[in-house]
A and B are shown apart, each in its own frame.
Chain A
């Protein structure tokens, strides 16, 4: 089984980081005890630009969970369709060739889910199996690939599709001036990514597509770290939970986690040629670099993605993966690790061979 293609889509409203900071400072005028903290936190998120689903002046009119979630559904369908179409086009197949869809998001909810709504817009078979995933957060990009690969392992002549749509700007909370929310509004952004995962006996896997083979996956739950990241869900929607302990949890767990995974697959870190890691933020990327003693620039594509589009939650690691596939595919025979972490706290690792 292999990753046959990735397609991303971003909303059209693209802003420099400072412009978003300025808009939020204006929106929260009188609410911020020390406005300079907002400027300084946002300026150090490692983010230079972000794409948002609405122009900045529209957000103050989106009040309450109902309005924002309704906006989320409409935009998620549109952006999701774009990402799916790009991934399918790149793989040279149509929606009719997909047997299972895994849909991941943590920034809005819907029933029927977004994947169901897309089946009414694209020619997916009516027999397509759907697995909507809510709540995994940033880890869902890697976890989605892992679950899609589980599926095609069971049905090797089929193709599975992973779609992640994250519209983080629709979770901004006006009544929350906590440091966690100030960081969150500086770090997270909007985007979608779709991945085609093809079974080893599928026509697609036998084609000359350049995508890497998926050799193994590993889910690891870090016990008693529920407090580190997630949402508190209230009448106004999703309120961020983001502890300063995140980098420490990464530092405490990641190396052993990766080494154990590689060892079980007969490999060590020295066998890995590239690291396709979720662009969590400067602290998380630094913690990953330090934990694995990575050489300088090993995570350059992740830093670049963070700078150019911000943290897209589950879609981020898929955007980094797209960059590798399109601009820097591995040399045949070399290994990569794709990794993300998210609420629980937990990690998902995917071992790839080009």
Chain B
């Protein structure tokens, strides 16, 4: 796996920004899905995009625990085998 931590963060943010048609600069790791107006369907569509981008498979029941962008980034890190960043959810 060649993604660095920063690359993972940036790619996740880009996916979310594109999905919601908002500027990536307005999204941080602390951004909550609620604050970005991400509903259940958005979350699922984002999960498909993330799976494709990182060639990973997100368990179907994992989405309920994802509340922030940082949660997504940490989840991706886990699935690609990189240690989670403790700052990612702050």
Question: Which A residues are closer than 8 A to B by beta carbons?
Answer: 34, 36-37, 39-44, 46, 179, 183, 244, 247, 282-283
Q: What would 9 more interface pairs be, CB under 8 Å, given A44-B61, A44-B64?
A: A36-B44, A37-B41, A37-B44, A39-B60, A40-B44, A40-B60, A43-B59, A44-B60, A46-B64
Q: For the complex, is B19 an interface residue (Cβ under 8 Å from A)?
A: no
Contacts of B60 in A (CB 8 A): 39-40, 42-44
- Residues on B facing A (Cβ under 8 Å): 34, 39-41, 44, 47-48, 59-61, 63-64
Across the two chains, which residue of chain A brings its CB closest to B44?
A: A40
Cα distance, A244 to B44, chains bound together (Å): 14
Closest to B41 in A: A179
Q: Which residues of A contact B44 (CB under 8 A)?
A: 36-37, 40-41
The closest CB in chain A to the CB of B38 belongs to: A244
| A-side interface mostly | helix
Smallest CB gap from B64: residue in A? A44
What total count of A-B pairs have CB within 8 Å?
A: 33
B64 touches A40 (CB 8 A): no
Instruction: Decide if B61 touches A179 in the complex (CB within 8 Å).
Output: no
* Beta-carbon nearest neighbor of A247 in chain B: B34
CB distance from A19 to the nearest CB of B (A): 14
Contacts A/B (CB < 8 Å), 14 sampled: A36-B48, A40-B44, A40-B60, A40-B63, A41-B44, A42-B60, A43-B59, A43-B61, A46-B64, A244-B40, A244-B41, A247-B34, A282-B64, A283-B40
Instruction: Chain A residues near B63: list those with CB within 8 A.
Output: 40, 43-44
The distance in angstroms between the C-alpha atoms of A41 and B44, with both chains bound, is: 8
| Chain B residues in 8 Å Cβ range of A44 | 40, 60-61, 63-64
* Minimum-distance CB pairs A-B, first 8: A43-B60, A244-B39, A43-B61, A44-B64, A44-B63, A40-B44, A39-B60, A40-B60
- Write the nearest CB–CB distance from A16 to chain B, whole angstroms: 12
Docked Cα-Cα span, A247 to B32, in Å, equals: 14
Residues of A contacting B48 with CB < 8 Å? 34, 36
